[in-house]
Amino acid sequence: MGYHPGLEDDGIYLAAVKARLDPVLFPHDADFFRLQMQATVFDDVIAGFVHWTHIPLPWAELFWQLASLFGILWACHSIARHVFPQAKAQWAGVAMVAAMFTLPVSGTALFLADQHLHPRNIATALILLAVSRILAAQRWQAALLLIAAFLMHPLMAAMGISFCVFLGLAMLDVVHARALSWSERSLAAGGKAAALIPLAWVFEPASPTWLQALNTRDYYYLYRWTWYEWLGALGPPLLFWLLWRTADKCGERLLARFALAVFAYSVFQQCVAMLMLAPPGWVRLTPLQPMRYLQLVYFCIALLAGCLLGKYCLKTSRWRWAVYLLAINGGMLVWQLASFTGSPHLELPDDPSANPWLEAFAWIRVHTPVDAYFALDPYYLEARGEDYHGFRALAERSQLADMVKDASVVTQIPELGPVWARQVAAEKGWNHFQLGDFERLKRDFGVDWALVSYPQPSGLACDWHNSSLAVCRIP
C-alpha cells in the first residue's frame, strides 16, 4: 500500500497534531484544520503520545500507522477464526485484506485503509475488533471498543455501531436459539439509528459559499454517481444474499448469519442513504456521506472472499498459495506505484525526497520564519508530481485557502465558507500572476511569501529554487 505522510486528509490531521505540539505554528487560517478536529481526540492522543514517549513525531506517526494496520489484520483474523474453523481459510482471508488495503470503495473516495495515519484507520481497527467481540458474545467489550472508535472518528463509528447492531441481531439465532422476524430486526435497527439523527439543523438554509464548496465534491451526491459506482454499491448486497442462502443450505450457520448481517446492514444503510440524499431540502445532510457505510462491506468482501478461496481452492498447495499471494499483492503494488509517479513508494522519516514539491516544503520548513504566510496555486495539490501532499502539514507554515482540500473542510464547517471563498477568489488566475497580483494579496490578506513556478514572475525576490519551484518574498 505504500506510506505517504502528509497526503490528502493527513494535510489536516498532521497539521493539527503539529499545532498541538508547537502552538506557535500556524498563526494564520488555522481554523482550516483546527475546527474539524473538535469532533475527535486524535490530535490530543498523538500529541500526548509524543510528549510521553519523546519519540519524534514522524516516527510516532509511522508507529501508529503500523499499529492501526496490525489491529485491522488482528481483528480480521479473529473474525475469520469465528466463521471458518480451517486455518488455511483464516490466513487466506487475512492475506486478501492485507493486499487490498488500497482497494477503492465504490463512489466514496475511500480506500479500505489510508496510506498515511488517519483517525479512520484507528477507528476501523477498533470497529473490526468490536465485530469480533460480537461474534464471541462479548457485547460489553464490543461496546467499549465502539465508544473508543467514536472518539476517534464519529462518522465511521456510527457505521460500525449500525453493523454491530445487525450482527448482534443475526447472531441471536445462534447464541440464544431463537429467531427474530425480518420486520422485528429492521424496526429494532431502524429505531436505534433514528434516535441518533438530529433534525433541527437539517432544515437551516445553506449559504452560497457552502454550496460552492459542496459542489466541488461530486462523490457526495449519490444521484450523480456513474453506473459502475452504483454497481459497486448494489452488487455487494446481492453477493451476501447469495452467500447467506448458500451457506444456510450447506449447514454453515455462522457463515450464514454473518452474511445475513452484512446483507441486512447493506440494504438498511443503502435505503437510509437514498432517503437522506434525495430531498433537495435536506442538502445539509450531504456532508455526512452516508454511502461510506460501504467501507465495512468491502472489508467483509475481501475477508470472506479470501477465506473461501483458502478453504476451497488454495487448500495446502504451495504453488497455489504462491500464485495467489503474488497476484493479489503484485497487482495492487503496480497500481500504487503508477498512482504516485513523483514520490517514493515508502516516504519514511528522515529519507530525503527527490520530489520537487517536497523539496520546497522541506526548505520552507527550515529556512522561513515560523509566522511566514504563504500564497500558492489554489490547485497545487492537483499539480503533476505533487501527489496531493499538504503544504501546511509538511512545510509547517500558514497558507491562503486552496480549492482542493480546504473546500472539503468547508463542507464540514460551513462558517469557514466566506473566508474560503474570498481567498480562493483572490487567487483566481494564479498561473498568470505578476508582481502587482502578489502585492495585492499582501495588501488584502497579509501574505508575505509565495511558492511559485520557476523561473519566477519578474519582480519577486526568491531565496531558493529547484528545477520546478521557487520560494519568494513578496515586497
Question: Residue ranges per domain, the chain?
Answer: 10-54+348-473, 61-315
What are the DSSP calls for 366-411, one per residue? Answer: HHS-TT-EEEE-TTGGGSTTTTTB-HHHHH-SEE---SSHHHHHHH
Contact 453, 470 (CB under 8 A): yes
- The reported pLDDT for the residue numbered 157 is 94
Q: Is the pTM of this model over 0.85?
A: yes
- The reported pLDDT for the residue numbered 192 is 40
How far out from the chain centre does Cα 295 lie? Answer: 10
- The reported pLDDT for the residue numbered 321 is 95
SS3 content of the chain, % helix, strand, coil (to 5): 65, 5, 30
Backbone angles phi, psi at 105, to 5 degrees: -95, 120
Give the closest residue to 210 by CA, choosing from 445, 425, 420.
420
Name the burial class of residue 187, with classes exposed (0-12), middle (13-18) and buried (19+) by CB atoms within 10 angstroms of its CB. exposed
What is the rounded CA–CA span in Å between residue 131 and residue 127? 6
- Read off the pLDDT of residues 211-221 as tens digits, 9 standing for 90 and up: 898 888 888 99
Cis peptide upstream of residue 455 (ω within 30 degrees of 0): yes
CB atoms within 10 A of CB 248: 15
Beta strands per DSSP E along 88-141: 104-105, 110-111
- Read off the pLDDT of residues 203-244 as tens digits, 9 standing for 90 and up: 567 788 988 988 888 889 999 999 999 999 999 999 999 999
Q: What residues of the chain score a pLDDT lower than 50?
A: 175-199, 201
Residues in CB range of 398: below 8 A, 6 or more apart: 26, 27, 28, 29, 30, 371, 372, 373, 374, 392
Angle at 30 between CA 28 and CA 33, to 5 degrees: 155
Produce one character per residue of 254-292: b if its CB has 16 or more CB atoms within 10 Å, e if not: ebbbbbbbbbbbbbbbbebbeebbeeeeebbbbbbbbbb
- The reported pLDDT for the residue numbered 199 is 45
- The reported pLDDT for the residue numbered 298 is 97
Name the burial class of residue 198, with classes exposed (0-12), middle (13-18) and buried (19+) by CB atoms within 10 angstroms of its CB. exposed
- Could you tell me the three cell numbers for 321? 498459495
Give the closest residue to 239 by CA, choosing from 189, 187, 302.
302
What is the rounded CA–CA span in Å between residue 337 and residue 332? 9
Identity of residue 12: I
- The reported pLDDT for the residue numbered 203 is 54
Contact 240, 272 (CB under 8 A): no
| DSSP-derived 3-state class of residue 106 | coil
